[in-house]
Chain A
Amino acid sequence: MLLEVRDLHVEFRTRDGIARAVNGVSYGVDAGETLAVLGESGSGKSVTAQAVMGILDIPPGRITGGEVIFQGRDLLKLKEEERRRVRGAEMAMIFQDALSSLNPVISVGDQLAEMFTVHRGMSRKDARAKAVELMDRVRIPAARERVRQYPHQFSGGMRQRIMIAMALALEPALIIADEPTTALDVTVQAQVMELLAELQRELRMGLILITHDLGVVADVADRIAVMYAGRIVESAPVHDIYKAPAHPYTRGLLDSIPRLDQKGQELYAIKGLPPSLTHIPPGCAFHPRCPLARDVCRTDEPPLYEVSATRGSACHFWRECLNG
């Protein structure tokens, strides 16, 4: 396993008390594998990734437990100095908002080249050549000319390509992409997603794709981890989940996608709203919204039951859910 997160807990101090953003998340990614972490806002999917990358804001955030094993080392036990060397060189992150992730007053070429001068100690000239090569690789037309341009001179799609180029610069073993295409238009989204998937295959990187879009997940993921209120509620190979979800929340999400044969009918809708992280319901966090909920769900927090060798569901009644 390239990366293994074990029983991670993250809290935030807020004005209203402790917000438990991540409550015992475990997942793993192999080299060359794409893990999609699916969830709504407040599900803890981004916070988990930030904890893995070591870019969590502390305070108000605080990691209260767990391990992040990357290539055999627990990252949480490393010193900040060592962490920094891992970051960028061995794992890299792509953000949703490329414009605010790039420095507006430095040309994109210099920002790319900096990766090589800082981490690899290359000369400026060689680094510049590498930057052009990278921009070519992410298929930015006329890379040689555009290398001197500034971020605002690129379109949204092109900026996201530059972000990808930066993430790939040092050929990391793991890439975490946090909603990489959410801010892009549909037709551009397709271009960027395809580019990312292709480069990942080529370089055999592990990819953690954080998203709320079930369509994007179905297109590129190998495995899915569905998060709700800071926990993984279902984890399975992509085909299994779409065929028969084993958690009522996953089922609800899939059922609420408009389908052809439902035209003119009510859409299925999960009732209620996601919980506040300062007041997560006791027992199973999903129980107030769950159609299968019974008394036990209000009191006992379900563990991640083993559905099959590759699949887990945090629902007391996963069998019922699986059978529809």
Chain B
Amino acid sequence: MAEPILEVRDLVKHYPLTQGILFRKQIGAVRAVDGVDFALGRGETLGIVGESGCGKSTVAKMLVNLERPTGGSIRYKGEDITRLSGRALKAVRRNIQMVFQDPYTSLNPRMTVGDIIGEPYDIHPEVAPKGDRRRKVQELLDVVGLNPEYVNRYPHQFSGGQRQRIGIARGLALRPEVIVADEPVSALDVSVQAQVVNLMDRLQSEFGLAYVFIAHDLSIVRHISDRVAVMYLGRIVETGTDTEIYEHPTHPYTQALLSAVPVPDPEAREHRERIILTGDVPSPTNIPSGCRFRTRCWKARGTDAETGRWRSTATGRWTDAETGRWRSTATGRGDMAAPRPVYGTRTAVR
């Protein structure tokens, strides 16, 4: 992996559940994010996949400082940004920008496209001198494939795909190094999704951007990502390069997730082996003891033990699958054949 630009260590976000009106007492917590680690290299794309409620959007919000973590650290170029405020925070924000899921709610309907894309310059006037802004905005429109003459139009005059381009242009305005994209194409029409994915791909090589690309569409994540992290109930359960995850998933949840994705090939349906999970995702207020996937895992055995974490030396890959299950689910793979325990065998991860 390239030199990490963003390093996330043991990130936790708990929302307290309180009772009582006057004397609030905490009766529990929604453990939305419960110990997430990853690193993002310069110019790299990390895909984060997982089902709704797994905490992936909360991770995204913490990365761009819209939510304050309950614990853990986010290091941007070595500096922990979770404790910053004021001027220092504003400076970091320039470098980490976000693209939102819903192009209908992420653009202010009362502002023109020019004002929306130019707003970053109002907030960070040091980036572009006043006289230069209109030209810069038009350049950005051009970069994302929209007619520069549209600066005076309003968002409702555009379709979903075009609005998402406007959102991307706003994200690019300050020339950030990292863009966090939370489901950037899932609200778009199928035939428009590919256009936006291509645009993001092109911008990455043009501007040397690093992406955290959050999505539930596994095929798009695979297409755009260099590395993939799979989240379940607030925790990354497995991470690796796209090939490792998609070709040789080692965690039973990853295996189930991949096998559940409908494949657009009718020939495959007869001889496809699908793992259909039983039950639903447990509530994040009441996470199962031990391995958090055990309530739905077909390989689970009657133990409450925490999972071990296994790390591969070469690629920085790791998985939460426990030894016995690991062996039985994994098929012969190069560097993963002899996993090296990171935190010791069968001990708590944290």
Binding site for B on A (CB under 8 A): 40-41, 141, 155-158, 185-191, 193-194, 212-221, 238-239, 242, 252-254, 256-258, 260, 262-263, 266-271, 273-274, 289
* A191 to B277 alpha-carbon distance, docked (Å): 7
What's the nearest-Cβ distance from chain A to residue B217, in Å?
9
Bound form: Cα–Cα A216–B189 in Å: 16
CB-defined contacts of B192 to chain A, threshold 8 Å: 273
The 3 closest A-B CB pairs, nearest first, are A215-B262, A258-B223, A185-B51
From B190, B201, B269, give the contact of A219 (CB < 8 A).
B269
**Interchain CB contact under 8 A, A215 and B264:** yes
Q: Is the CB of B281 within 8 A of A185?
A: yes
Interface residues of B (CB under 8 A from A): 51-52, 159, 161-162, 189-195, 197-198, 201-202, 216, 218-220, 222-223, 242, 256-257, 259-269, 274, 276-281
Whether B220 and A157, one on each chain, are in contact in the complex, defined by CB atoms closer than 8 angstroms, is no
- How far, in angstroms, from A257 to B344 measured CA to CA in the complex? 42
Query: 28 A-B Cβ contacts within 8 A?
Result: A185-B51, A185-B281, A186-B51, A186-B257, A186-B261, A187-B277, A189-B262, A190-B262, A190-B274, A191-B277, A194-B276, A218-B263, A219-B269, A239-B267, A242-B264, A252-B191, A256-B194, A257-B219, A258-B220, A258-B223, A263-B222, A266-B201, A268-B194, A269-B195, A270-B194, A271-B195, A273-B162, A274-B189
* Beta-carbon contact of A258 and B216 below 8 Å: no
CB-CB < 8 A to B278: which residues of A? 191
Given contacts A41-B189, A270-B191, contact A157 B266 (CB under 8 A): no
- In the complex formed, the residue of A with least CB distance to B197 is A267
- Chain B residues with CB under 8 Å of A257's CB are 219, 264
Q: Which residues of A contact B51 (CB under 8 A)?
A: 185-188
* A314, chain B: closest CB distance, angstroms: 17
Cα of A156 to Cα of B159 in the assembled complex, Å = 29
Q: A41-B189, A187-B276, A269-B198 are in contact. List 13 more A-B contacts (CB 8 A).
A: A158-B280, A188-B51, A189-B262, A190-B262, A194-B276, A213-B262, A215-B262, A218-B268, A220-B269, A242-B264, A267-B198, A267-B223, A268-B194
| B residues near A187, Cβ cutoff 8 Å | 51, 256-257, 260, 276-277
Structural contact, B191 and A253, CB atoms closer than 8 A: yes
**What are the residues of chain B within 8 A of A40 when measuring CB–CB?**
189-191
In the assembled complex, the Cα of A258 lies from the Cα of B196 at a distance in Å of: 13
Contact B260 A218 (CB under 8 A): no
A40-B191 Cα distance, complex, nearest whole Å: 8
Cα–Cα, bound, A266→B224 (Å): 10
Q: Determine how close the nearest CB of chain B comes to the CB of A98; give it in whole angstroms.
A: 14
* A157 pairs with B223, CB closer than 8 A: no
Please, which residue of chain B has its CB at the minimum distance from the CB of A262?
Answer: B223
Q: Residue on A with the closest CB to B219?
A: A258
Q: In the complex, what residue of chain B is closest to A224 when comparing beta carbons?
A: B266
Cβ-defined partner of A214 (8 Å) among B162, B201, B242, B264: B264
Q: What is the CB-to-nearest-CB distance from B104 to chain A, in angstroms, rounded to a whole number?
A: 12
Interchain CB contact under 8 A, B195 and A219: no
Q: Among the interface residues B51, B198, B260, which one has the most CB atoms of the partner chain A within 10 A?
A: B260
| In the bound complex, CA of A130 to CA of B143 (Å) | 61
